């Protein structure tokens, strides 16, 4: 599970060769969620509302980089780190 970013106690990662739709995994305070890259929708799991808002803000800022990392993950190529929220 390659970690691609960390901010405000939130860890973001992707799995290699994961199932569609393109998504990321987020964990905060022991809670996990799977979040769609394109829409920010929670596909599975749950994280606190404040953490989810931060993940969605970060996703909106880095959607292109996330899509690129998704493609890399599908090819089992190394993922690139993505800057955290300031």
Give the pairing type, strands 23-28 and 3-7. unpaired
pLDDT at 17 over 90: no
Residue 14 falls inside a structural domain: yes
Residue 83 falls inside a structural domain: no
Residue 45 falls inside a structural domain: yes
Domain hosting 31: range is 3-74
Rounded Cα distance, 31 and 4, in Å? 18
3-class DSSP assignment, residue 27: strand
pLDDT in tens, 60-86: 999 999 999 999 999 999 999 999 999
pLDDT confidence bin for 19, thresholds 50/70/90: very high
pLDDT at 42 over 80: yes
Residue 86 falls inside a structural domain: no
**Whether 80 contacts 65, CB under 8 Å:** yes
Structural element, H or E, at residue 54: helix 49-61
Residue 61 falls inside a structural domain: yes
Residue 85 falls inside a structural domain: no
Residue 79 falls inside a structural domain: no
Q: How many domains does the chain have?
A: 1
Rounded Cα distance, 76 and 6, in Å? 21
**Average pLDDT estimate for 22-38:** 98
Residue 54 falls inside a structural domain: yes
């Amino acid at each position: 599970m390659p970690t691609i970013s960390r901010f405000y106690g939130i860890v973001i990662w992707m799995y290699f060769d994961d199932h569609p739709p393109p998504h990321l995994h987020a964990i905060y305070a022991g809670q996990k969620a799977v979040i769609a890259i394109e829409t920010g929708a929670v596909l599975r799991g749950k994280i606190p509302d404040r953490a989810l808002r931060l993940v969605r803000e970060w996703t909106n800022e880095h959607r292109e980089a996330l899509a690129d990392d998704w493609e890399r993950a599908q090819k089992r190529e190394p993922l690139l780190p993505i800057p955290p929220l300031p």
